[in-house]
Amino acid sequence: MVRIGVADVREAYMVDEEVSRMWGWAADLLALNDIGALSGWNESKIYGPVVQGFEAHAVHRVTMRERAHILQSAVRTRLEAAATISRGEYEAGLTHLRDCRSRARDELGTVDVIALPTVPVVAPAIGTKNVTLGTETVSVREALLRNTRAANFSGLPALSIPVATPGGLPAGLQLVGRDEHTVLRAGYQVLDALGVSPERRFGLESNVTPVQPVWSSNAPGEPRCTL
């Protein structure tokens, strides 16, 4: 049995109402009580954009110089900003990245895998610029990257299981763990808890959709769901 817990990062669970209801249901179903450290959360916010930006600009330097007009304005703006990142800043970011990856597995603590929402919002409408998470307003891009960026930065393997929300749009249950084998075992364990058939897991059923809880409300303000 893989030990699945939650991250010691409150910000990872600041989500919109739809994802909050999905997460509450999943956390209860899986009895997620243990806590593990998601190493690299703060570092990923500070140094992730530095490392990513410097490398992205290095890859697209020729395009920016000779064919910048073919890039979308938002992409071009980010690459222009990345051009100001110095090699010293980049190397400092790499140092923090390597340090984070060297301790990430040990800092999981007593759990093998950490579960958290893959992204804190359901799919935003085209043209949406900002979303609200709790009392915080952030850009759509920041929201969509928030919970996956730390896993990327830590170097730990992760997978996402799609789960439907009360409004019908899919959300993701992300599992981050010590190694790929453990994460895959945890994925099967979660699918067993969700009651997903082997045929559906491997796409052998037609019209496969995200796991769909049956949502109801037992009392005002107390949403509940069952499989």
Q: Which of 54, 71, 103 corresponds to the end of one domain?
A: 103
Read off the pLDDT of residues 147-202 as tens digits, 9 standing for 90 and up. Answer: 998 888 888 999 999 887 878 888 899 999 999 999 999 999 998 888 776 666 55
If one compares 214 and 172, the residue with the highest pLDDT of the two is: 172
Q: Which of 51, 81, 103 corresponds to the end of one domain?
A: 103
Does residue 99 sit in the same domain as residue 23? no
Does residue 85 sit in the same domain as residue 193? no
Read off the pLDDT of residues 106-154 as tens digits, 9 standing for 90 and up. Answer: 888 889 999 999 999 998 888 899 998 878 899 998 899 889 988 888 8
Give the CA radius of gyration of the chain: 19
Does residue 110 sit in the same domain as residue 166? yes
Does residue 111 sit in the same domain as residue 98? no
Q: How many CB atoms lie within 10 A of CB 208?
A: 13
Question: What domain count does the chain have?
Answer: 2
Does residue 56 sit in the same domain as residue 130? no
Contact present, 172 and 119 (Cβ < 8 Å): yes
Does residue 113 sit in the same domain as residue 174? yes
Is the pLDDT confidence value at 217 over 60?
Answer: no
Does residue 93 sit in the same domain as residue 195? no
Written as one string, the DSSP assignment of the chain is ---EEEES-GGGG---HHHHHHHHHHHHHHT---EE--TTHHHHHHHHHHHHHHHHHHHHHHHHHH-GGGS-HHHHHHHHHHTT--HHHHHHHHHHHHHHHHHTTGGGTT-SEEEEESSSSSPPPTT--EEEETTEEEEHHHHHHHHHHHHHHHT--EEEEEEE-TTS-EEEEEEEESSHHHHHHHHHHHHHHHT--HHHHTT-SSS---B--EEEEEETTEEEEE-
pTM recorded for the entire structure: 0.81
Contact present, 5 and 33 (Cβ < 8 Å): yes
Q: How many CB atoms lie within 10 A of CB 188?
A: 13
The residue type found at 86 is: S
pLDDT at 125: 86
Contact present, 32 and 72 (Cβ < 8 Å): no
Range of the domain at 76: 41-103
| Residue in the block written with tokens 């938002």 | 74
Does residue 47 sit in the same domain as residue 158? no
Longest CA–CA separation in the chain, Å: 62
Is the pLDDT confidence value at 87 over 50?
Answer: yes
Does residue 20 sit in the same domain as residue 123? yes
Q: Which of 62, 82, 103 corresponds to the end of one domain?
A: 103
Does residue 9 sit in the same domain as residue 98? no
| Percent of the residues in the chain that have a pLDDT greater than 90, as a whole number | 44
Q: What's the mean pLDDT when you consider all of the chain?
A: 84
Does residue 152 sit in the same domain as residue 214? yes
pLDDT at 226: 37
Does residue 99 sit in the same domain as residue 10? no
